[in-house]
Amino acid sequence: MSVDHATVRKIASLARIAVTDDQVEAMVPELNNILGWIEQLGEVDTSAVQPMTAVIPNALRLRDDVVTDGDVRDAVLKNAPQAEQGFFTVPKVIE
Amino acid sequence: MSSYRIQGTTGEWEVVIGLEVHAQVTSNSKLFSGAAASFGAEPNTQVSLVDAAMPGMLPVPNAECIRQAVRTGLAIDAQINRWSRFDRKNYFYADLPQGYQISQLYHPIVGEGHLDIDADEKAGILEDKRIGVERIHVEQDAGKLMHDQHPTRSYVDLNRSGVALMEIVSRPDMTSPAEAGAYLRKLRAILRYVGSCDGNMEEGSMRADVNVSVRRAGEELGTRTETKNVNSVRFVMQAIEHEANRQVDVLEAGGKIVQETRLFNPDTGTTRSMRSKEDAHDYRYFPDPDLLPLELTEAFVEDCRASLPELPDAKRARYIETLGISAYNAAVLTAEVETARWFEALLDQGAEAKQAANWVMSELFGALNRLGKSIEHSPVSPAQAAELLTLVTDGTLSGSLAKQVFEKMLETGDSAGTIVERDGLKQTSDTGAIEAVIADVLAKNPGQLEQYRSGKEALFGFFVGQTMKAMAGKANPAVVNELLKKALG
């Protein structure tokens, strides 16, 4: 598996990361190196091995259904570039 | 198979429908944070730093949301997956601060199940039909955008952000708007019986994505479109109707259906294409590294099963078979959990089932309709109603007197017994008094009396009416009948 210039641009755009042409140029071989290495791992037969979901045997912990948080509007809005009347505001997005 | 077909200019078309219903899980707090999940609070007051996606915040699942999803799965006879997992669905939008939604793509908590819709000839559903449910998974809701507050900015309220949703995905088993409507109503009823979702479509607790395609009879499935976020049963039916007809028009004009997302406009009943960018649906799902797999114990699942109430279909069957209530009445009384609850409270107070069913269906529903009230807010309680019905059973009140007493109960809130005593509305079986009135009625209507005696027996009803009227409706009708027969010889 390998990526080309168009794929790198698409991945960048999906991740909302701006990349220059020079950067794309550098990134194509870099990413292909990584993909090549991953492919090498594929040579090991893992058909009898369960996918590892955690490094220590541990179960997902659940919490009780009680309200213990929220009501911190000022903190939530504190870093917003723009907020009005308790709302975040963003450039108009309408379909 | 429903009889529904679209009549095109070149022939008949079948419609194939699948629904993805988003149902908000009834819980106090959110799926992955301890912020409140209730509706209608001031903007951004029910938002924790987890919901606002502040760096370093970690999600911890709410046990109740998991329990409710499992109970819902059990209620539709679905497979419960003892091992499921959360995945990230990546996209950027202003209502999604994380940049991804935590959902379950690969390993949903609930697998294959089904629910049954009932035949409804008037709606073109010719026989009972089983609709498959492919899966139910649990996921986070997004925030809410408001576009009408400012000329150039959209306002973002994250109160809904992180609230737990169940996405209930049907098989494409429906073939008419009516079937889709029946499926939604049945699903809503089950959710409300189970208590896992309040089913309130106006407040957005339940919304549907509607998948529609058309094909000529017997042909392969056509390309489908998905109309997003339709929020009432009626709108879902309208959206299907419009979308199916639009597709037929496109195909018959030689065009092709594009697989796309569309929006429904409730004001016009039409759908239109959402002109999103092509890559908007490149979600790049991957397992959420913040969350371990969700493993359910047998005991947990069995507790969920044991906590299920009697469900609508079972209840209706019991009403018909054990209580002897008519099929129609049983269907209406069990359609809404509140109605069934009220009715059963009435039975618990000692009312006889068939009489109680008839009374609820005619008198109570009539009154609630007039007052514009739902049954939970009935001005008359089940205990008060049971007292009224007892007064009918023991002969104190006739049917028509009971109506009068019920009206006064609605007006005053007094008990039936109090009203009967105070207003002297008791029915009388006093034969002496009734005989005297009958004698008087016969004396006043010699013409009718002669006609009756010369064979016009239909006039019997006239005499009953006159006698009841003279006694202000308080005479026991059975006694009046008996005495009149005697008097008329």
**Which residues face A91 on adjacent strands?**
B153
Is residue B280 within 8 angstroms of chain A, CB to CB?
Answer: no
Asked which of B191-200, B251-260, B292-301, B453-462 is least confident by mean pLDDT, the reply is B453-462
Question: What is residue B267's DSSP assignment?
Answer: T
Q: Contact B45/A14, CB-based, under 8 Å?
A: no
Distance between CA atoms of residues B16 and B303, nearest Å: 37
Sheet holding B87-90, edge to edge: B100-103, B87-90, B286-287
Interhelix angle B431-444/B477-488, rounded to 10 degrees, is 50
Q: Give residue A95's pLDDT band: very low, low, confident or very high (50, 70, 90).
A: low
Candidates A56, A60, A79, A82: best to mutate against B (most CBs of B within 10 A) is A60
Q: What are phi and psi of B358, to 5 degrees?
A: -60, -40
The domain segmentation of chain B, as residue ranges, is: 6-300, 310-423, 431-488
Q: Contact B44/B8 with Cβ under 8 angstroms?
A: no
Chain A hits for B48, Cβ within 8 Å: 69-70, 72
pLDDT in tens, B1-42: 567 899 989 999 999 999 999 999 999 999 999 999 998 899
Residue-by-residue DSSP string for B105-173: SSS-SB-SEEEEE--BGGGTB-S-EEEEEEEEEEEE---EEE-SSSSSEEEEE-TTTT-EEEEEEE-S-
Chain B hits for A93, Cβ within 8 Å: 93-94, 145, 147, 154
User: How many A/B residue pairs have CB atoms within 8 Å?
Assistant: 137
Mean pLDDT of B144-160: 94
Q: What is the pLDDT of residue B400?
A: 81
Is residue B61 within 8 angstroms of chain A, CB to CB?
Answer: yes
Q: Give residue B420's pLDDT band: very low, low, confident or very high (50, 70, 90).
A: confident
- CATH T-level topology, domain B431-488: Arc Repressor Mutant, subunit A (1.10.10)
Chain B hits for A90, Cβ within 8 Å: 94, 153-154, 156
Q: Contact B43/A84, CB-based, under 8 Å?
A: no
- Residue in B closest to A60 by C-alpha: B292
Q: What is the pLDDT of residue B117?
A: 96
Q: How far is A27 from chain B (nearest CA, A)?
A: 20
- Residues 281 through 300 of chain B touching chain A, CB cutoff 8 Å: 282, 284, 287, 291-295
Q: What number is the ipTM of this complex?
A: 0.90
Distance between CA atoms of residues B165 and B109, nearest Å: 13
Helices (H), B322-459: 327-335, 337-348, 353-359, 365-371, 382-393, 399-412, 416-423, 431-444, 446-453
Mean pLDDT of B311-324: 97
Give, in order, the Cα–Cα distances in Å from B23 to each of B158, B209, B365, B437: 18, 11, 28, 64
Q: Contact A64/B282, CB-based, under 8 Å?
A: no
B163, pLDDT greater than 80? yes
pLDDT in tens, B321-350: 999 999 999 999 999 999 999 999 999 999
Q: Are strands B225-230 and B206-216 parallel, antiparallel or unpaired?
A: antiparallel
Candidates A10, A77, A87: best to mutate against B (most CBs of B within 10 A) is A87
